Each structure stands twice: as structure tokens, then as C-alpha cells.
Amino acid sequence: MQSYFFPYISYFQLIDSVDTFIIYEYVSFRKKSWVTRNRILDKGKGEPVNINVQVIKQSSNKLIKDILLEKNIKWKKKNLDLIYFNYKKAKHFNEIYPFLEKLIKINEDSLHVYNSKIIIKLCEFLDIKTTIIFKNSITEDIEFDLQEDTKILKENKKSERILRLCNKYNATTYINPIGGTELYDKDYFAINNINLLFTKTGMFDYPQFNKNFIPYLSIIDLLMHVGVEKTKEMIKKYTLI
């Protein structure tokens, strides 16, 4: 997976479901991906509003590992202001806001490292014990090999990347979010001795200022409304298929 910015609960369910979680930086940067943005709740309007990471010279020709953060920290203050003013009346604001403030203020130049450190700190906060690797020369070696191997069909390249990563770590099972059912074929993995599974998030909602429930928001929204302990319980509400 890529290093998403304050991702949705399903990202943490995926981390919880595995022994080792690889945050992959040797893939192309996409300007409008979850790597540089996520959504929280606009309390007044009752609809999603974006929080964003500002980067220097966005380009789809670069790899995620090469993207640097904007040194002007006004964007961090803007995010903190959005979180503060939209959640200051939330039930668990006093418990959660100081922790989020520390995460957003993490001092890093690399987008990948910045997001990865936030994810790791959130996992520690939520008692997720999975080993998380976000800087590893193995991933660079895999990308080099993929580029050199002219026998790989373009449509199989994503699957081959995963298979080679699994082989490097002696893994026999690979778990992907449910959306991966459209990308990856269980039979293709099986003939390569890898068991492919998908995480399916259980249906749930929770109180959001007594307004209509808005799903698929950042983990920030869940933490603010239900707190740490309830969030830990909800992270466990997934199945493997």
C-alpha cells in the first residue's frame, strides 16, 4: 500500500489483518490521490471537507519517494484549524486533538516518510502490533527487476510486483483491500503458491453531531466521535474473503 494521509478505517483494518505491512514508495505519484489528501466532516454544512498535504512541484513523472513537502508550514496550520473548528464540540475532542496536533507538526521533508510516520503513530495509539516497513532497499530491487524483465505482460505487472515482494519476505499469504478483487486474480496467485485474501469492512455507522451519517471519512472523524477504545473495537470489525 501507499502512504495515505490520515486514511479511512479500512486502511487500519488491513494493517491489523497482517503480520507485516509494507508501505510502498516506488510507484508513480498521483496528484489527486489519498497520498496528499483526505476528508473530515464540515460540522456546519454536514458534508465532507478536504485536509491536504502541500508538496513541491507535483508531477506524475516522479515516484512517491521523490516527492517533497512544501517547507512553508501554513498548510499544517490550515489543517489544524479545520480539525479544531469542526471538531471542538466533538465528544472526544480533548482526548484526540493534542495527539493529532503532534502528528501534523511532524518535521519531515519527504511526503512518504511524513505520511508513514503518521500511520505508524496512529497504529501505536490504536494498539495495532503489526510490523510496518516503510524504508527498504528490497522494494527498489523489485522495481529494477520488473523494469529489466521484458517477459512480463503489462497487465500482469502489478501482480508480479506483489508476488516478488511476497517471495522476498517468504510470505505465503497476501491480503489486499476489497477493492483489489477487480485488480487481482486468486488463481494467478495460487499457481504462484500465494494465498490471496481481501479485507471486507463490516457495515457500521456512528453519531456525527446528530446529522446524517457521512461514511468513508478519515480516521480523524471516527476518533473524534467515538474515542480511542471504541475505535479499537471497530477496527476489528472486518472479515477476510
Q: Which residues neighbour 54 within 8 Å (Cβ) at sequence distance 6 or greater?
A: 36, 69, 70, 72, 75
Closest Cα to residue 219, out of 121, 133, 134? 121
Give me the tens of pLDDT residue by residue for the chain, a chain 241 residues long: 999 999 999 999 999 999 999 999 988 898 889 999 999 999 999 999 999 999 998 777 899 999 999 998 999 999 999 999 999 999 999 999 999 999 999 999 999 999 999 999 999 999 999 999 998 777 778 877 777 776 776 677 889 899 999 999 999 999 999 999 988 999 999 999 999 999 999 888 999 998 789 999 999 999 999 999 999 999 999 999 9
Residue written as cell 489519498? 34
DSSP string across 155-171:
GGHHHHHHHHHHHHTT-
Which residues are within 8 A (CB) of 222 and not within 5 positions of it... i.e. 6 or more apart? Answer: 9, 206, 231, 234
User: Residue 204 CB: number of other CB atoms within 10 A?
Assistant: 11
Residue pair 63/195 in contact (Cβ under 8 Å)? The answer is: no
Going by C-beta distance under 8 Å and a sequence separation of 6 or more, which residues neighbour residue 36? 5, 52, 53, 54, 55, 58, 111
Q: With contact defined as beta carbons under 8 Å apart, do 185 and 159 qualify?
A: yes
